[in-house]
Amino acid sequence: MKIQKQPGWPNFLFPSPVVLVTCLDEEKGGANIITLAWASNFSLNPPTIGIGVNTGRYSYKLIEKTGEFVVNIPSKEHLHESDFCGVTSGKKINKFSATKFTIEPAKKVKTPLIKECPVNIECKVSKIIDNGSHGIFIGEILLMHIDEEIQTLQGTIDYSKADPILYLNGDYWSIGEEIGKHGLSKGKLRE
């Protein structure tokens, strides 16, 4: 039996990945970090990521102005810092100094990476979609940085070794275990 509800926090689509998005403050000369749970790839060609950012956040204006952002994937060990960067504002504090995360220069954009994160994705904003409380930035991926230790022999990312953080209605979760490979059905159903 199902119950019908109007959508509203925290009844939404989950699970989602927890990501740390870095952006540049060209006026102040530093970089900020915002924690987001609303982020997803959207296309292969061009390769793009969309992120939903509250228009009132400090980072929103920075990304809008610079036209770039970096998606950094934190590991479980960065849980405390990840929560901190989500509940505080870069208007008042320097989050790189506060968290002791290390600034690592990017290759294609001016916005820095977070060195401690095992995956960093440099993005250039291709579209900004006005969507009420939040704006959606569509970013074309320019370059990926992958920690050697989480690479497979085929050069792909072994995300299980990255130990990413999930978000489920206000709780942080770890990933569990592999339950199957894409294509496992071979296009056929069990009898």
Q: Which one among 30, 47, 61, 66 touches a copy of itself, defined by CB under 8 A?
A: 47
Which class for 6: exposed (0-12), middle (13-18), buried (19 or more C-beta within 10 A)?
Answer: exposed
Residue 10 interacts with a copy of itself (CB under 8 A): yes or no = yes
Strand-pairing partners, residue 20, are: 35, 72
153 binds a copy of itself (CB under 8 A): no
Contacts of 71 (CB under 8 A, 6+ apart): 19, 20, 21, 39, 49, 51, 120, 121, 123, 139
Residue among 26 and 77 whose Cβ is closer to a copy of itself: 77
Q: 36 with 52: CB under 8 angstroms?
A: yes
Q: Two tokens at 74?
A: 């934190």
Binding map of a copy of itself across residues 95-114, x = CB under 8 A, - = no contact: ---xx-------x-------
Which of 84, 103, 124, 125 lies at the binding interface for a copy of itself (CB under 8 A)? 84
Q: How far is the CB of 141 from a copy of itself (least distance, A)?
A: 4
Residues binding a copy of itself: number (CB under 8 A): 99
| Interface map 13-42 toward a copy of itself (x if CB under 8 A) | xxxxx-x------------------xxxxx
Which residue in 61, 67, 124, 175 binds a copy of itself (CB under 8 A)? 175
For position 129 contacting a copy of itself by CB under 8 A, the verdict is yes
State the greatest distance between any 2 C-alpha atoms of the chain, in Å, as a whole number.
64
> Which one, of 114, 115, 25, lies nearest residue 68 by Cα?
25
